Amino acid sequence: MNKFPDLPIYTGFNTPSRMEVDIYDVEVDGDIPADINGAFYRVGPDPQYPPLLGHDIYFNGDGMVSMFRFQNGRVDYKSRYVRTDKFELERKAQRALFGAYRNPFFDDPSVQGQIRGTANTNIVFHAGKLLALKEDSPPIVMDPFTLESQGYYDYEGKMTSETFTAHPKLDPQTGEMIAFGYASKGIDTDDITYYVISPKGEIVHEVWFKMPYAAMQHDFGVTRDYVIFPVVPIVSSLERAREGKPTFGWDGTKDIYLGVIPRRGEARDIRWFKGPNQFASHVMNAFNVGSKIHIDMPVAEGNMFPFFPDIHGAAFDREKADSRVTRWTIDFESGNNTFEHKQLGNMIGDFPRIDDRYAMESYRHGFMCVTDLSKPYDSKRGGSISGMFINCLGHIDFSTGKEKIFFAGPTSTIQESTFIPKSDHASEGEGYLIALVNRHEEMRSDLVILDAQHIDDGPIATVRLPLRLRQGLHGNWVPDSRLNTAKAAV
């Protein structure tokens, strides 16, 4: 029977929508600034069929891409599923065929050996191509205007890893894309493959090397001269997977490592720096001054992912899951194999963003999703919240230490933000912050547009969708000037 289970990740605001939609001239409160012209793409899990095994984690839903197309003060909305192999095979069978997250051992026999990726984690634009990404599989190319899927992409056969990160970094100065794949030879392997991709979309540098232990290498940092791979102990195990347990789990006994390699370095050049057990998932930014390398991430004392439980049986500790922006500093030329820790902010949260024009450089402004439990939430009107409770956006001015908050409201939560500069020549942080707000009481979504340096003033304008967008993962802004490169490539 085609019915989703009565579990928090499939009910309430998280109910799968399974809708592909076109809305022209979406209703707007206020005036969209005249300098916002381009497309905001975001993606998240939206399963088309109930889980094969009766349950799953939120991250394993089929990728649904949304596009907000801004032109001349108006905005159109479009959403389309990413046509992965998984999606097409299940659509044909009219039921789920793939089992648990990153675990092929309980898949239907008819799909053994097929690519299992859902393309639900991030969507980026580079070299005229829109790429839907999931870290266990190759990118899928989508038409940036129609969102039509155009198939998996292996860079003309030059991508030798089975996997490709959902968090590649775009160099705003060179136009290169820096990327990697982990578990490059398959689940529970300890291989990382590092790539430099030219502005034309060609792989021009590839390096294979080993991690200290097999783990979820979700994000990484890139500076002008170095690349940093944070290895935290969300460890993988084929044995657990075969037993039907989560493939990944938290190991609170392991140290963390930062692997550092020069941007055009080889495997022999990598150095590993060790630190005490802690958790970090997403990178805000990274930069270096000579051989001193800084990487900024929301860092927690313990596991932030309860769906990847402690492999030794320890209970999930909610307080240790609180993450705050922290700077890890490495001296690549020193004889030490450790690194320094410095907390930069007091806000609790994740999903950090910056003015991407200052990626890989020393920077002043950071933004992130924030959990502020001092703010009210009316559960009688808004209902219960499943998963990470995010009710605010935060802005940190690293030059002054000042923090500002935008509160979504007493019956709302919020999704990852994205920065839009006012112009190519605007100063750092001069522009807008956009984010989807989940209106739980109304069961629909808004896209708010905020002055990035005055987010506490509230929205300049609000794009009011007449429908609900499930909690997504990541997204990016592409201005018209870059979208035109896709037109030229057609």
Q: How many domains does the chain have?
A: 3
**Same-domain status, 177 and 80:** no
Check: CB of residue 125 under 8 Å from CB of residue 80: no
Phi-psi map region of 286: left, alpha, beta (phi>0 left; psi -120 to 50 alpha): beta
DSSP-H helix ranges across 110-259: 238-242
**Same-domain status, 267 and 246:** yes
**Same-domain status, 195 and 256:** yes
**Same-domain status, 86 and 216:** no
Q: Residue 450 is encoded by which pair of tokens?
A: 């905020």
Confirm whether 436 is domain-assigned.
Answer: yes
158, 160, 165, 166 alpha-carbon torsion, rounded to 10°:
60
Give the rounded distance of the alpha carbon of 349 from its chain centre.
Answer: 14
pLDDT at 421 over 80: yes
Domain with 297, as residue range(s), is: 161-344
Instruction: Check the CA dihedral 420-422-425-430 and report its sign.
Output: negative
**Same-domain status, 148 and 170:** no
474 is in an annotated binding site: yes
Q: Residue 73 is encoded by which pair of tokens?
A: 């003060």
pLDDT at 166 over 70: yes
pLDDT at 225 over 90: yes
**Same-domain status, 147 and 6:** yes
294 is in an annotated binding site: no
User: End of a domain among 137, 153, 169?
Assistant: 153
Check: CB of residue 191 under 8 Å from CB of residue 212: no
Closest by Cα among 156, 154, 224, 223 to 193: 154
Give the amino acid at 78: K
Per-residue pLDDT tens over the stretch 88-146:
999 999 999 999 999 999 999 999 999 999 999 999 999 999 999 999 999 999 999 99
Q: Residue 247 is encoded by which pair of tokens?
A: 């493939």
Tallying the residues shown for the chain, one arrives at: 490
> Considering the chain, what is the average pLDDT of its residues?
97
167 is in an annotated binding site: yes
Q: What is the pLDDT of residue 229?
A: 99
**Same-domain status, 446 and 326:** no
Check: CB of residue 190 under 8 Å from CB of residue 181: no
Confirm whether 478 is domain-assigned.
Answer: no
Instruction: Check the CA dihedral 301-307-312-314 and report its sign.
Output: positive
pLDDT at 490 over 60: no
Q: Residue 116 is encoded by which pair of tokens?
A: 């299992």
Element spanning 76, H or E: strand 74-81
Share of residues in the chain with pLDDT > 90 (%): 95
Confirm whether 183 is domain-assigned.
Answer: yes
Confirm whether 474 is domain-assigned.
Answer: no
CA distance to 272, 283, 326, per residue, from 323 (Å): 23, 12, 9
Q: Residue 286 is encoded by which pair of tokens?
A: 């990274």
CA distance to 19, 50, 84, 106, 146, per residue, from 150 (Å): 20, 26, 10, 29, 11
Confirm whether 481 is domain-assigned.
Answer: no
Confirm whether 349 is domain-assigned.
Answer: no
What Rg value do the Cα atoms of the chain yield, rounded? 21
Q: What is the pLDDT of residue 464?
A: 99
CA distance to 146, 201, 269, 298, 345, per residue, from 149 (Å): 9, 18, 38, 33, 40
Element spanning 92, H or E: helix 85-93
Q: Mean pLDDT throughout 5-30?
A: 96
Confirm whether 57 is domain-assigned.
Answer: yes
Q: Mean pLDDT throughout 153-169?
A: 98
Give the amino acid at 391: N
User: End of a domain among 153, 177, 202?
Assistant: 153
pLDDT at 167 over 70: yes
**Same-domain status, 166 and 94:** no
Higher pLDDT, 360 or 388: 360
Q: Residue 11 is encoded by which pair of tokens?
A: 């009910």
**Same-domain status, 287 and 326:** yes
CA distance to 173, 203, 224, 293, 421, per residue, from 354 (Å): 16, 26, 16, 18, 11
Q: Residue 173 is encoded by which pair of tokens?
A: 């100065």
Confirm whether 89 is domain-assigned.
Answer: yes
Higher pLDDT, 2 or 175: 175
Closest by Cα among 225, 232, 178 to 332: 225
pLDDT at 489 over 80: no
**Same-domain status, 13 and 130:** yes
Please indicate, yes or no, whether the overall pTM of this predicted structure exceeds 0.95.
yes
CB count in 10 Å sphere of residue 21 = 15
**Same-domain status, 219 and 147:** no
Q: What is the pLDDT of residue 386?
A: 77
Closest by Cα among 85, 6, 95 to 47: 95
Question: 413: which strand partners?
Answer: 438
3-class DSSP assignment, residue 439:
strand
3-class DSSP assignment, residue 117:
coil
User: End of a domain among 290, 311, 344?
Assistant: 344
205 is in an annotated binding site: no
CA distance to 171, 245, 361, 376, per residue, from 207 (Å): 19, 32, 24, 49
Q: Mean pLDDT throughout 59-66?
A: 98
Alpha carbons 34 and 32: distance in angstroms, whole number: 6
**Same-domain status, 364 and 465:** yes
Q: Mean pLDDT throughout 439-464?
A: 98
